Structure 1
């Protein structure tokens, strides 16, 4: 493959940067021809494609590049520097650049990962020990020490899901055990809801599916018995508990029950007469719309409730600002699923502004919202858009020590693994997924979405990695 001689200054030009950001290869080729006089034949030879294909790309409104492999080939052929590659949505060639000040550098440290371009198994007679040493370095990294100290056992979350049906459908169980006054004490109920939120953010899903039915039943009774301000407080707690139920059911892949829980959450939120609670519960509905493939409706809903909250609150509190910001992130995520890059950019920028106003990473209203959560969503959305390199580049900038919850840490690792699969770095994707499982076993073993990722990884891995993926799947009970 012949490389064209392109001056470094070209990659810093506004027109070229704009073309790269839009992934407009036709415009990029036109600019290369304009500024260095390269012919279509020369561009084709450099990028290992036919002259006819280059001509199709260069036509106004012509063919668009969609495949990651083609983007990589073009970047290599034009000898793009790392900054240009990242603007195009590809990973840089070198992962040895120092992390930003204050970053734990969890994906950038070459002593931890080596080069993501190579395989830890290839050309090594003792590949198993190489992989094992690499994984031990990952697991022993300081940022994981606190959360690896006390790991729960195998997930039993699915075994308890049926016990939620009674609470969600509102049918009494006939036991009469939920009529005691102690179960209606608002302070006690508030503590139990907080405990449920903590279990969710710690990925203790089997615990939640066991405790939620009783909590939901007691909250329903409190809403029916109490009146005045106490009734509204009970409805607020009920809305929050149903949000947890919707979240854990989504994690376990039971969309029917998740929809029911989300609907209960919104109904209770409206009865609470609290605009922050209403906005918070709207996230559960937006999540259900996304899972159902209604990305436009989810974007519109999240945006509308964010605007309404901003209007109704007047002067934001840390809690309302956090809910406002997380709604914008949910809308951006939905927009990313429908490849609406303009809306993604607008909503992420607005969420970033809200995070700056908040002043740091916090967990108000159990949102885990702040600047770091915005960056986590940039990773997720980049992976959804197929911008694997951009997702990895964003992940490298995350300081995991600043991620407030185990669930958010695990999701980041899973999103990074997904991007690495897209990018063809199967061994690294496997290593990251193993760390996610060590960190949050039930987030990996219980989630159908992660099972699909594991199957994709198995299907596309080379023989050197496929065996390890098979063993890992068997270990956590996933059928490939």
Structure 2
């Protein structure tokens, strides 16, 4: 028996059985097998025949291919890969030589609107991803045409590019395209440098550090974030936007330190940032979402990263996450709490947090790898009632397990 294939099919069959509202005995009977045989299939102890696999697929209302796969099939128009591929093509294909002139004011308006959608809409993926490739092309056209513009217009175009590519860094990361995310972060840094704007350059470096964290390069992320924070120190003496960006960079540095096992240093950095947040209040400088609420959320993240789930969850109880202007941060906070509950083996409470995430932003459960891992853990390790609800939640939002 191919043990890996049996385990893969077993996981898929178990997920679909849990997600269905039929008792196991009914599923087995409709498929023409015994309940014990179905149990052995689910546990990877038996590899079903092709006939049995087809019968199970028919009863569970899925294709046999889906039961053979380690992840559910998606339509070409909705799978994350299609959106990521479209962004990559927009970044890498040459511009048409006879492109029309770009309306700079309209471009600024569209980028601002895209950021607002990304930070506030529960359906931000489906709303944004179809339009972003064209926005990339339009921005690149504006950059090429800027050589013949005034100095003020050239600078405004660089502002647009920095802002757009900062957005695309986050979107590409959530679509699972670290390559596109890194490319976007690099272009944001180039635009910040060309604009001679220390704040946008710092924002771009914050984005680069985020990409490195997502790619498992915590040491590189820490270096980028801490050097950028130090470079902002003189400006942060007077400018509250600079204070906010410096604080945001230090928070990235705290998470990077925690992921390298330097927990006390991570905690010290969060404590260092607290007075900065008191100075700025809740602020969203260049879409980096800094303030007392975000600092408190990062304190929770550090404890969860350190495996101190009880401390992290105790801190989380004091936080009103609705005060954050970014749905991105609110979802990350809910997932951190779910992760902490899993660390404590309180799978029921973890499911409560994931259900709250669904209410907040169902598309994030579909796209975020951290959410997929949590759901999979509940399906595999929780008691049957919790596992069943987790499987139904995963199926409902289209999360690949």
Tell me the TM-score range normalised by the shorter chain: 0.7 to 0.9
Equivalent residue for 2:259, pick from 318, 332, 337: 337
- Say whether 1:424 aligns with 2:345: yes
Equivalence for 1:68: none
Q: Distance in 1 between matches of 2:219 and 2:309?
A: 23
Q: Distance in 1 between matches of 2:238 and 2:227?
A: 17
- Say whether 1:196 aligns with 2:89: no
- Say whether 1:184 aligns with 2:103: yes
Superposition map of 1:400-419 within 5 A? 400-419=321-340
Q: CA deviation at 1:327?
A: 0.7
Superposition map of 1:43-442 within 5 A? 158-172=81-95, 174=96, 179-181=99-101, 183-185=102-104, 187-202=105-120, 204-226=124-146, 227=149, 228-311=151-234, 313=235, 315-358=237-280, 360-442=281-363
Equivalence for 1:120: none
Q: Which has the higher helix share?
A: 2
* Superposed CA offset, 1:122-145 (max 9, x none): xxxxxxxxxxxxxxxxxxxxxxxx
Q: CA RMSD in A?
A: 1.9
CA contact (8 A) 1:155 1:442 kept: no
Q: Distance in 1 between matches of 2:215 and 2:288?
A: 23
Q: Distance in 2 between matches of 1:223 and 1:193?
A: 15
Name structure 2 gaps, 5 residues minimum. Answer: 1-76
Q: Give the match's secondary structure for 1:231.
A: helix
Q: CA deviation at 1:319?
A: 2.0
CA contact (8 A) 1:238 1:268 kept: yes
Q: CA deviation at 1:350?
A: 2.1
The 4+ residue runs of structure 1 with deviation greater than 4 A are: 154-158
Q: Distance in 1 between matches of 2:112 and 2:80?
A: 19
Q: TM-score, normalised by structure 1?
A: 0.63
CA contact (8 A) 1:157 1:207 kept: no
Say if 1:467 and 1:175 are closer, same or farther in 2 by CA, change over 3 A. Answer: farther
Q: TM-score, normalised by structure 2?
A: 0.75
Q: Give the match's secondary structure for 1:241.
A: helix
* Superposed CA offset, 1:308-352 (max 9, x none): 0123x2643232222111111111111111111232123212221
Equivalence for 1:455: 376
